[in-house]
C-alpha cells in the first residue's frame, strides 16, 4: 500500500488535532501541520498527496489552491461558494468526518494518475497560451526552447483532451489559472 502524505493547513490547533486524530486509523498515512498557507506555498506543496485546508485559508489563497483542487479537501461549516473543491463539514459527527476522510483518501489511491494532473511547468505554459502568447513568446518568457514549448502543449492537450487555443483558454479561466 502506498503511503499518503497529508498536509493540514490551519491556524486553529484544535482543528488540526481533530483531523489528525480522525486520520490515525487510516493505514499508511503521514500527517503534517502547516499553520498558514505561506508555509505550503514556499515550495512544499508538491511533497503532499492531500492538502486539508481551512476554508478561510483556501479562499484567501485561491490562486494557489485552484490548480491543486484535485488534491485539496476544504474544512468548512457550509457548502463552498467555489464548488471546484471537495469539502468536509466541520459540524458533522466524528463518525461522518472519519468516513468522508477515509473515502477521500481511498478515492485518491484508486484514481490518482500522475498523467491526469498538469505539472507546474505545464500550468505556466497553459497560462501563457491562454493569455494569447505564441510559442516563441512562451519560450522566451520561460527561457526554454520552442521544441520544449511544443512538447508541453502536446502533453497539456493529451491530458486535458482539449486541442484548440480557445478551448485551453476557457479551461484556464474556469479553473483559476487566469485572473
Residue labelled with grid coordinates 486535458: 160
The pLDDT mean for the chain works out to: 83
The pLDDT value given to residue 79 = 65
Percent of the chain beyond pLDDT 90? 21
Sheet holding 4-9, edge to edge: 29-34, 4-9, 50-54, 72-76, 86-89
pLDDT exceeds 50 at position 1: no
Residue of 139, 158, 159 whose CA lies nearest to 149: 139
The pLDDT value given to residue 63 = 77
Q: What is the pLDDT of residues 154-173, one digit of tens each?
A: 999 888 888 899 889 888 88
Other CB atoms within a 10 A radius of the CB of residue 80 amount to: 14
Report the run of H or E that residue 54 belongs to, with start and end: strand 50-54
User: Quick check: pTM over 0.85?
Assistant: no
The full set of domains in the chain, from first to last, is 4-111 (3.40.50.2300), 120-174 (1.10.10.10)
The pLDDT value given to residue 114 = 47
Q: What is the dihedral of CA 76, 79, 82, 86, to 10 degrees?
A: 70
Q: What is the pLDDT of residues 21-77, one digit of tens each?
A: 888 877 888 888 888 877 777 766 778 888 898 888 888 888 788 778 778 888 888
The pLDDT value given to residue 82 = 53
Percent of the chain beyond pLDDT 70? 90
Amino acid at each position: 500500500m502506498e503511503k499518503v502524505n497529508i498536509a493540514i493547513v490551519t491556524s486553529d490547533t484544535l482543528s488540526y488535532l481533530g483531523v489528525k486524530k480522525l486520520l490515525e486509523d487510516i493505514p499508511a498515512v503521514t500527517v503534517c501541520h502547516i499553520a498558514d498557507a505561506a508555509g505550503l506555498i514556499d515550495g512544499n506543496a508538491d511533497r503532499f498527496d492531500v492538502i486539508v485546508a481551512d476554508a478561510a485559508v483556501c479562499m484567501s489563497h485561491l490562486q494557489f489552491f485552484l490548480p491543486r483542487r484535485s488534491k485539496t479537501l476544504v474544512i468548512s461549516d457550509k457548502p463552498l461558494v467555489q464548488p471546484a473543491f471537495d469539502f468536509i463539514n466541520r459540524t458533522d459527527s466524528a463518525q461522518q468526518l472519519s468516513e468522508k476522510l477515509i473515502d477521500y483518501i481511498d478515492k485518491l489511491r484508486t484514481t490518482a494518475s500522475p498523467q491526469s494532473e498538469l505539472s507546474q511547468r505545464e500550468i505556466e505554459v497553459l497560462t501563457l497560451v491562454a493569455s494569447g502568447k505564441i510559442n516563441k513568446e512562451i519560450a522566451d518568457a520561460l527561457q526554454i526552447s520552442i521544441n520544449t514549448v511544443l512538447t508541453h502543449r502536446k502533453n497539456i492537450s493529451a491530458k486535458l483532451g482539449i486541442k484548440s487555443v480557445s478551448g485551453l483558454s476557457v479551461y484556464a479561466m474556469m479553473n483559476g489559472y487566469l485572473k
